[in-house]
Structure 1
Amino acid sequence: MKHKAAPSRSAFFNGWDEGIAVSELWKYVLDQKGYDVSLEYADPAPAFSGVASGDYDVIMDAWLPATHEDYVDEYGEQMEDLGAWNDEAALTIAVNEDAPITSLDELADHADEFNNQLIGIEPGAGLTRITTDQVIPDYGLEDMEYTTSSTPAMLQELRTAIDNGDNVVVTLWRPHWAYDEFPIRDLEDPKGSLGEAESIHTFANPTFVEDNPEVADWLRNFEMDGETLYSLENLMFNENADTDDYQPIVEEWVGENQEYVDGLTN
C-alpha cells in the first residue's frame, strides 16, 4: 500500500468474509487516495508468515486472543499490531432456528437428528483447530463426522438444509452475514470451549508502517461495528453472490455510506 509506487499486497483468508469485505473496502479507499493496492487470498499460516517476512504488507482479519494466537505467538515480533477494528467477534456453533436442541451439551445425544454430521470450514482455520481441540472432546462429539472443506461449501450446505427443512449444525462466527440471511441461532456453550468474545485486529509489516505512516494511522483508527459490516457483507456476498468482482459493489456501498467512508481517512 505504497503511494503511487509498485503494487503492494494485502492478504486475506479464503472464505473469511469479514476480512474480504474490509480489505476490499480499504483497497477502494486507498485507490481513491492514489495508492496502488493488490489483494490476495491466502490461508492463515502463509498470510501471517507473509506479513512477518514482508511478502505481504497487511492482514486485516487477525482474531485475538484465541483464534489466531498460535500465529501471533510465532510471528508477532516480526509484525506490528495496528489495533482492533471490531470487538464484537465470537466463534460459534450454529443450528437452524427450529432445531431440537439449544446447547452444545445436548448435541451428542441428538447427533442422529443432524445426520451425525458437524459441518466445518477450512482445515487450517483457527475455528477448525478450536473445534477439534476443544469443542469436540469437551462435549463428547468424537462419534460425529466433522467435515472440513471451505467456508463457501459450509454455507451451501447450510442453505440447502434450510431450504429442505432439515436440521443442520455448522461452525460459524460473528460477525457474519449468514445471521441476517438464514433463520439460525447459536448453540449455548456452557463449558466455554469456543472462548470468550474476541477482537479483530489489523497486523502490518513494520517496514510498511515506517514507509506509509499516513496509511498506518488510518488503519490504527479504523473501526467498524457489526451492523455496518453486515450491510457491506450482505451486498457483496448475498445480493451479489454470483460475482467476485467486488470493487463495483464496494463503490455502490460507499455511495450509500459516504459519511462513514470519508471518516476513515480524516
Structure 2
Amino acid sequence: MRFLSVKKNITIFLTIMLLAVLTACGDSGDKAESSSSDSETIEMGQINWAENIAVTNMWKVILEEKGYEVNFHLLDMGTIMAALANDELDVGLEVWLPVQDANYLEQYKDEVHFSEETWYDQAKVGLVVPEYVDEVDSIEDLNENSNLFESVIVGFDPGAGTMEVTEDLLVEYDLDYELLPSSEPAMITEIKEAIEKQEPIVAPLWSPHRIFSEVDLKYLDDPKLVYGGAEKIHHATRIGFEEDFTEVDQWFKNWKMDDDQIGTLMSYVADAENPLDGAKQWVEENEDIIAEWLN
C-alpha cells in the first residue's frame, strides 16, 4: 500500500511517533560528551527490521562516542522517505536497489540524496519456504500447490519496497494468492511456528537476516527475476546533510560490511536485553573495522 498522503501529514505523524522513539541510550560515562546543540543532533529513521535495528544502534554507539547525539524515529519506509524529503529526518540507513526500493528512488530522487556508495553488496530478496516443502522449488510451482499454503503469502510491513515488488510478482506469475501484510516480527513468528509444526508456509524474505541461521529455509527460484538479482543496500540523507555533517556524511560513505560482520552484529543486538548493549559489544570488538570507516 502506498502512503499517498504522508507528505501532507508528516509533521503531525512524526510528532506523535516521537513518543515511541527507541531511545536505547547507554551509560553516558562510556562515551564522549555529546553536544546539546541542534547542530550536533542527528535525527535517524529506524525501521523495525532486524538488520535495520542492528545498524542504527551500531551507528548510534559510534556517533555518540564521537560527540554527536542520535535520536531514533521508529517509522515505516514510506514515512522515512517523506520525512527526509521534508527535512524532518537527517538519515535513513537502508535503501535496497536496484529493485526493491526503486519506487522510492523514482519518487524522491529530486528531494532526497540517495548515496551512490553501498554498505552491503550481496543482498538477496525472494519468496522462501521451509526446506522440507519438497513440492515447491520455484515460484512457478505455487499455483498448483496453492492448497498447501491456503493461497496465502505471509507478508510484513505494507510500506516496504519488497512488499510492493511481491504485489507485482503476483501479477507477473498470475498467482492466485493473497499477500497478507503484518510486521517483520509477526511474519518471523509465523514462520517459526509453522516450522515447529512441520507445516508449509511461504513468505517474502531477504538476506542478510538472522532467521537463516535459526531455521532451514530455501529461496524459490524466480525465473522472471521479478525480485532482481543481487541487491545492494545504500543509505539516504536529506538534501544539505553533507554540508551540515561533513565528517559524518563521509563516514557513512566509507561504511562497508560483509556477511560475517552484519551477521555477528545482528546476533549481538538480538541476543542483548537492550539492542544498544549488543551494538556496543560489537563496536568494542571491531574497533579496527570502524577505524577504517572513520578514516
Match of 2:148 in 1: 113
Residues of 1 paired with 2:218 and 2:287: CA distance?
A: 32
1:96 corresponds in structure 2 to 130
In structure 2, the partner of 1:16 is: 49
Q: Which amino acid aligns with 1:72?
A: L
TM-score by length of 2: 0.83
Whether 2:87 is the aligned partner of 1:54: answer yes
Q: Deviations over 1:153-209 (max 9, x none)?
A: 100000101111111111111111111111111011111121222111111123221
Q: Identify which of 246, 250, 257 aligns with 2:279.
A: 250
The sequence identity of aligned pairs, in percent, is: 30
Instruction: Name the structure 2 match of 1:129.
Output: 164
Maintained 8 Å contact 1:92/1:174: no
Deviation string 1:124-174 (CA, Å, 9 cap, x unpaired) is 1111111112x11222322x2321111111000001011111111111111
TM-score (norm 1): 0.91
- Secondary structure of the equivalent of 1:190? coil
Question: Are the aligned partners of 1:108 and 1:139 in contact in 2 as well (CA < 8 Å)?
Answer: no
Aligned residue for 1:27? 60
- 1:66-215 maps to which residues of 2 (within 5 A)? 66-82=99-115, 83-100=117-134, 101-133=136-168, 135-142=169-176, 144-215=177-248
CA distance in 2, matches of 1:236, 1:136: 34
Per the alignment, residue 260 of structure 1 pairs with 289
- Please give the alpha-carbon distance, in whole angstroms, between the structure 1 residues aligned to 2:218 and 2:180: 20
CA distance in 2, matches of 1:111, 1:231: 36
Aligned equivalents of 1:137, 1:72: Cα separation in 2:
22
**Counterpart residue type for residue 277 of structure 2:** P
State which drifts further: 256-265 or 144-153: 256-265
CA offsets per residue over residues 50-106 of structure 1, 9 Å max, x none? 112210001110111121122122222222233211111121101101112111111
Paired AA for residue 130 in structure 2:
N
Cα distance between partner residues in 1 of 2:178 and 2:225: 22
1:49 to partner: Cα distance: 1.4
* CA distance in 2 between partners of 1:153 and 1:217 (Å): 36
What letter matches 2:255 in structure 1? F
SS state at 1:77 partner: coil
Q: Equivalents in 2 of 1:117, 1:218: separation in Å?
A: 42
Q: Distance in 2 between matches of 1:115 and 1:234?
A: 33
Q: Per-residue CA shift, 1:209-243, capped at 9, x if unaligned? A: 10111111111111111221111112222x34xx4
Aligned residues: 257
Structure 2 residue matching 1:73: 3-state secondary structure: helix
Q: Is residue 105–residue 114 contact of structure 2 (8 Å, CA) maintained in 1?
A: no
In the alignment, structure 1 segments of 5+ residues that lack a partner are none
